[in-house]
Chains A and B, each alone.
Chain A
Amino acid sequence: DGGITQSPKYLFRKEGQNVTLSCEQNLNHDAMYWYRQDPGQGLRLIYYSQIVNDFQKGDIAEGYSVSREKKESFPLTVTSAQKNPTAFYLCASSIKRGTYNEQFFGPGTRLTVL
């Protein structure tokens, strides 16, 4: 089965801790994205990557970091600098950014800061 996997599904973190969310895709897509979803709001772009070893900040990158060492993987680290990290995090991929191709989403990770 081709698709995007995110792990874990639920994640709990104590204040002051960094935590890394996993995102893997076997769709051979070049572009990958991280979004944050809060209740009553649309998806907000955190970071995106168009190619291996390259990534760009989205609209709300502060307090987050990413890496793209492999085409299949785009992990997101939520650092202690993120003031309000409790949210539902969605990873997505597309064939290429800026084309008429939809983004495919993973199942999401719900992060709760205790």
Chain B
Amino acid sequence: GESVGLHLPTLSVQEGDNSIINCAYSNSASDYFIWYKQESGKGPQFIIDIRSNMDKRQGQRVTVLLNKTVKHLSLQIAATQPGDSAVYFCAERGDDKIIFGKGTRLHILP
């Protein structure tokens, strides 16, 4: 069946370093992908999205890479800051459904 998952449940990164959060998806028909950030006790916030006709999209300090060959999505955060500490999860839209991954907790080391 369809699944969206993350390779690591927790990622610890030194402040100032770059973070890379990965996501695997299984529905090759998915045409739209979104990354969300969720801080503790709050609702998810949109970070960046990408359509399946693109390989890369950049935002402010964030980059999303899409590799359709291996059905892999990644979120890169440049110069990670304490405020980046949160759970990040990806979502895919395929067959008119949006499926959310379980999330990766990003922990910032001082």
Contacts and interface: CB of A to CB of B under 8 A. Distances in A.
B34 interface: yes
B98 A42 contact: no
B29 to A, nearest CB: 13
B102 A41 contact: yes
A103 B35 CA distance: 11
B46 A108 contact: no
A108 B34 contact: no
Interface in A23-73: 35, 40-43, 45
Nearest to A88: B41
B43 A42 contact: no
B101 A42 contact: yes
B11 interface: no
B44 A90 contact: yes
Interface in B24-40: 32, 34, 36
B102 to A, nearest CB: 5
Interface string A98-114: 10101111111010000
B42 interface: yes
Given A107-B43, A108-B42, A42 B49 contact: no
- Which 5 A/B pairs are nearest by Cβ-Cβ distance? A105-B43, A42-B100, A43-B100, A102-B46, A42-B102
Interface of A: 4, 6, 35, 40-43, 45, 90, 92, 97-98, 100, 102-108, 110
Interface of B: 4, 32, 34, 36, 41-46, 49, 51, 89, 93, 96-103
Given A42-B99, A92-B43, 16 more contacts: A6-B43, A35-B100, A41-B102, A42-B101, A42-B103, A45-B98, A98-B93, A100-B49, A103-B34, A103-B46, A105-B36, A105-B44, A105-B45, A106-B43, A108-B43, A110-B41
